[in-house]
Structure 1
Amino acid sequence: MTVPTSPFPGRPIPPTTPETIEWWDATRSCRLLVQHCRECDLHQLYPRSLCRSCGSLELEFRDAAGTGIVYSHTTVEKSPDTTLFTPPYAVALVDLAEGPRLLTNVVGIEPTLIRCGDAVTVVWEPLPDGRQLPLFTPVS
């Protein structure tokens, strides 16, 4: 599902790195990936070259369910640049079902109505280069 109207009209395009290219490529088909360590079984985001728990290089990407719980959030009422971000909008930490915590935006709801503990699911915001940015919306 894609975001019908984005509150982020001029969002800067996120860069890719050698560690994130596979993750970003998966977003082109609206697939959310988490990195998995084959040594200690940890799931992590953002993609890195080694496991943040055990230091292993034995990492692989796995499909994520695209569901999570709002851990924390804030409503931005005054944007640093209204050509990039139209307030009000919500910035949130979402605990994914697989374990990692993702910094993201929650859309599809008045930002002041978001609560910690809310169940959310991924929606996708198209980027100009064909990639998709994972955002989250409340589970109805």
Structure 2
Amino acid sequence: MTTPTIEEGAGSVQAFHQDELDAGRFRVQRCSECSRHVYYPRASCPHCGSAALEWKMPSGLGTVHAVTTVRRKPADGGDLNVSLIDLDEGVRLMSRVDNLAPEAVRIGQRVRARVQVKDGRGLVLFDAIEGAAA
């Protein structure tokens, strides 16, 4: 699966990425020239400048790099964590660890990605692999 061309623009790349998430599929790009993975989706590789990017399904495994707790009123859904996750493929993304209380998420914790589709919109979330609530 190839990325929309540079002529089609980064907006097309991002729209394609969101369409995939909306269909329940999480993909990252991999450069055919330098073999590095790319995320957030773009029209050219930020490492080598090549436009030869392909969509690949990542392993989904990663590690919490950083985490913070956003405090919210219970009426607004309660507290949630915002985490930076380093995927094993070498890219970092911002999301949240969804199967733990916000204060239980720890730097270095292993997690697995999944796509949650709500009201037709897909979002990448993570679940802790170890230490998850029963």
- Quick check: 1:69 aligned with 2:71? no
Unaligned runs of 5+ in 1: 1-15
1:133 pairs with 120, 123, 126, which one?
Answer: 123
CA contact (8 A) 2:70 2:80 kept: yes
* Cα distance, 1:26 vs structure 2: 2.2
Q: How does 1:1-140 map to 2 (within 5 A)?
A: 17-78=11-72, 86-128=77-119, 130-140=120-130
* Cα distance, 1:94 vs structure 2: 0.3
Q: Give the length in aligned residue pairs.
A: 120
* Cα distance, 1:66 vs structure 2: 1.2
Identity of aligned residues (%): 34
1: CA distance, partners of 2:37 / 2:24: 19
Structure 1 residue ranges, 4+ long, deviating more than 6 angstroms after superposition? none
1: CA distance, partners of 2:45 / 2:90: 14
Q: Give the alignment's Cα RMSD to 1 decimal.
A: 1.9
2: CA distance, partners of 1:98 / 1:30: 20
| Higher share in helix | 2
Larger RCO of the pair (alpha carbons < 8 Å, separation 6+) = 1
Unaligned runs of 5+ in 2: 1-9
